[in-house]
Structure 1
Amino acid sequence: MGTMTLLLTEAAVALPNPAPIQPPGTEGFTSIMGWVKWLALAVCIVGLMVAGALMAIQSRRGEGGEHAGKIGMALGGVIVISAAGSLVGFLMTA
């Protein structure tokens, strides 16, 4: 097992790890990704507003706490959307 580990470690060290470079002519794709991110965050904001409004309306009936999960899901979506580029970059280097 020690020999196999040593061979795999040496092979991993010998592999090049070039930095990612955006290919020429793909600037439009970058713009589209920015628009999609903006749109996704806008949907999350609307979702938070709707969940808050439903919570306020239904609190008079004693049902306001049921929407806390919706708010948590919307906030989780905001975190994932905002960190999408960093998460992918982290997974690529790991």
Structure 2
Amino acid sequence: MLTVALSAVTHLAEVSVTPVAPPGSERFLRLVGWASWFAMIAGVVGIIYGGGKFAWERMHGGAIESPKIIAGALIGGVFVTISGMLMNGVSS
């Protein structure tokens, strides 16, 4: 029994498999690329908005909420970067 299992595993280990992208994956990767660009643009806009709001709060007083906006944009940028690296690793 062990010999048969070992022979099956040896045969399966010798089989050469060529990876093929599933049908429709080009559209999915294009959609992911657009989402990535949108996330990067939203992060830059968030940082610019947070900086402007920080200057406004500094000049006119009031509650300081802008560091939260900037921190959120930076943390979102980290997640976008990590997900981009994961998608590049999966697609290659």
TM-score, normalization: structure 1? 0.62
Segments of structure 1 that go 5 or more residues without pairing to the other structure are 1-13
Alpha carbon RMSD of aligned pairs, Å? 3.0
- Paired with 2:35 and 2:87, the residues of 1 have a C-alpha distance of 16
Segments of structure 2 that go 5 or more residues without pairing to the other structure are 1-8
- Paired with 2:76 and 2:21, the residues of 1 have a C-alpha distance of 27
Cα distance change on mapping 1:65 and 1:23 into 2, 3 Å: same
Runs of 4+ more than 4 Å apart: 87-90
Counterpart in the other structure of 1:74: 73
TM-score, normalization: structure 2? 0.63
Which aligned pairs between 1:2-21 and structure 2 lie closer than 5 A? none
Counterpart in the other structure of 2:52: 53
Provide, for residues 45-79 of structure 1, a one-character-per-residue CA deviation record: whole Å limited to 9, x for no partner.
11111110011111113447431121111100001
Q: How many residues align?
A: 76
User: Is the CA contact (8 Å cut-off) linking 1:41 and 1:81 kept in structure 2?
Assistant: yes
- Paired with 1:63 and 1:72, the residues of 2 have a C-alpha distance of 19
User: Is the CA contact (8 Å cut-off) linking 1:51 and 1:67 kept in structure 2?
Assistant: yes
